[in-house]
Amino acid sequence: MAEILLRPKGSIGIMVEAEVISPNIFAGKNKAEIEGLLVWQGPVQLPLGEFFDVDVRSAAGLPERARPEETSILIEGDISRVKRIGQGMKAGWIEIHGCAGMHLGAEMAGGSILVQGNAGSWAGMGMLGGLLHIAGSAGDHIGSAYRGSWRGMTGGTIQIDGNARSQLGGGLVGGKIVVAGNVENFCGIRQSGGLILVKGSAVRGTGAEMNGGTIAVCGAIKQFTPGFVETGREENPKLGDVQLEGWYAKFTGDYALGKNPKGSLYCREG
């Protein structure tokens, strides 16, 4: 086991892109090696040690021996100006006591990330597996496809305890996104698989251009997507491993996309 503690040295000016902050890259490295990893600030590459105090603790044995799944990274402080943390990580644990910048856990395939504060836009973009837990609120494009792609997250779980903004789960193919609060526009746009559960309300465009998968909204939808046709009512529907309570109206859509769409939208009645 190895535990690496990162503390931001001061406020960050031009935003930093630090995809090196990942258990896969930290695993088996000592303090000096981690401090020497290069991050991008604008067009220049600088060592991680310029921005963070690094402390490596080892529970048993040498940190150099720790494998990615035995590596945990603890970040103490606000890193909302640091992007791409945990990008592409495959195993291990990252915990952030503060807010995180854009692209947190983008394309992650395994392991877990917990953010105690808010996360910026594009968190969990194109996620393949693992768990991304945002205890605060999140920006736009969470768990969505990258610009120009129609295939977003394919696996894993994103849990947001606060609210998320627009285009949540855009192009979702698989996996699960649960939002305890509200979402704004175009939640689940171009979704073709997987599950999105919104416990609060949505503004507009919910399930727009959807062709598969499931969305459930427990609160109100302000501007309902016109291409959804009601197909029945269900009491206490079970969506995958998620058990909902109460009566739900079930819709199929989005008929704006084609003549035979297979997306399901559940809206709580009353």
Partner 1 sequence: MMASKNIVCPVCGASCDDIQVELSGDKINVKNACKMGNAKFQEIVSSHRISQPLLREKGIVRPCPWEEAIERTAEILADASRPLIFMGSETSCEAMEVGLHLAEFLGAAVDSNSTVCHGPTAMGIQEAGRVGATAGQSKSRGDLAVYWGSNPLESMPRHMSRYAVYPRGYWTQRGRFDRTIITVDPRKSITAENSDLHIQLRPNTDYELLSALLVLLHGKRPHPSVEKVTGVSISQMEEMLELMKSCNFGSIYVGLGIASSYGKHRNAEAAFNLVKELNARTKFVIGALRGHCNVAGFNQIASYLYGFPFGLDFSRGYPRYNPGEYTAVDLLRERDVDCALIVSADLVSHFPAACAEYLAEIPVACIDIAPCPTTMISDVVLPGVIDAMECDGTFYRLDDVPIYFQPFTKSPFSNTKSNADTMKQIFEKVKALKR
Among 1, 5, 15, 20, binds partner 1 (CB under 8 A): 15
Tell whether residue 254 is a contact of partner 1 (CB under 8 A).
Answer: yes
* CB atoms closer than 10 angstroms to residue 240: 10
Distance CA 260, CA 249 (A): 20
Distance CA 20, CA 90 (A): 13
Contacts of 44 (CB under 8 A, 6+ apart): none
Q: Count interface residues toward partner 1 (CB under 8 A).
A: 34
State which residue, 71 or 166, has the beta carbon closest to partner 1: 166
Tell whether residue 10 is a contact of partner 1 (CB under 8 A).
Answer: no
CB of 46 to partner 1, least distance (A): 10
CB of 256 to partner 1, least distance (A): 4
Tell whether residue 266 is a contact of partner 1 (CB under 8 A).
Answer: no
CB of 39 to partner 1, least distance (A): 12
Taking contact as CB under 8 A, which single stretch among the options 36-44, 49-57, 88-96, 194-202 is the one that binds partner 1? 36-44
Indicate the DSSP class of residue 162.
S
Among 51, 52, 93, 186, binds partner 1 (CB under 8 A): 186
Among 205, 213, 237, 263, binds partner 1 (CB under 8 A): 205
Return the structure tokens found at 39. 């991050």
Q: What DSSP assignment string belongs to 7-76?
A: EE-S--SS-EE-TT-SHHHHTT--HHHHHT-EEEETTEEEEGGGTEEEEEEESSS-GGG--GGGEEEEEE
Taking contact as CB under 8 A, which single stretch among the options 22-30, 31-39, 194-202, 227-235 is the one that binds partner 1? 227-235
Among 10, 147, 243, 270, binds partner 1 (CB under 8 A): 147
Given a contact cutoff of 8 angstroms between Cβ atoms, the answer to whether 207 and 195 are in contact is no
Residue numbers 74-133 binding partner 1 by CB under 8 A: 102, 121-122
Tell whether residue 178 is a contact of partner 1 (CB under 8 A).
Answer: no
Given a contact cutoff of 8 angstroms between Cβ atoms, the answer to whether 167 and 144 are in contact is yes
State which residue, 74 or 255, has the beta carbon closest to partner 1: 255
State which residue, 23 or 188, has the beta carbon closest to partner 1: 188
Given a contact cutoff of 8 angstroms between Cβ atoms, the answer to whether 115 and 97 are in contact is no
Tell whether residue 14 is a contact of partner 1 (CB under 8 A).
Answer: yes
Contacts of 23 (CB under 8 A, 6+ apart): 68, 69, 71, 72, 73, 89, 91, 92, 93, 94, 111
Tell whether residue 59 is a contact of partner 1 (CB under 8 A).
Answer: no
Tell whether residue 259 is a contact of partner 1 (CB under 8 A).
Answer: yes
